[in-house]
Amino acid sequence: MATYEYRCRDCGLFEVRLPIGTAAAACDCPECHGPASRVFSSPYLSQLSPATARARSLEEQSCEAPEVVTSVPAPRRRQRPPHPALQRLPRP
């Protein structure tokens, strides 16, 4: 179910919950039964988790100002964790 927003000239904004893709361009106001036109608004992005909101923000920034790479990054060497037996040896 999706929430669609409509605006009545007399009563103002109201919301209607309908299956996705079934909203009409106009519907009747539930209060005065007059014609109401559909309003396109932004989705409820404030309900996203902070990690998802940050990822979306970075995605939008990269569309307008992508980072430019000037050289190939150097390969990183993986450091092996020390062997557990070596931890028992005396230290100088």
Where on the phi/psi map is residue 14: left (φ > 0), alpha (ψ -120 to 50), or beta? beta
CA within 13 Å, CB half, 28:
4
pLDDT digits (tens, 9 = 90+) for 54-65: 898 888 888 888
Q: What is the pLDDT of residue 37?
A: 93
Average pLDDT, the chain: 85
Mean pLDDT across the stretch 38-53? 79
The residue to which tokens 């103002």 are assigned: 12
- Residue 28, strand partner residues: 35
Chain segment 9-29, per-residue pLDDT in tens: 988 999 999 898 888 899 999
pLDDT value for 81: 77
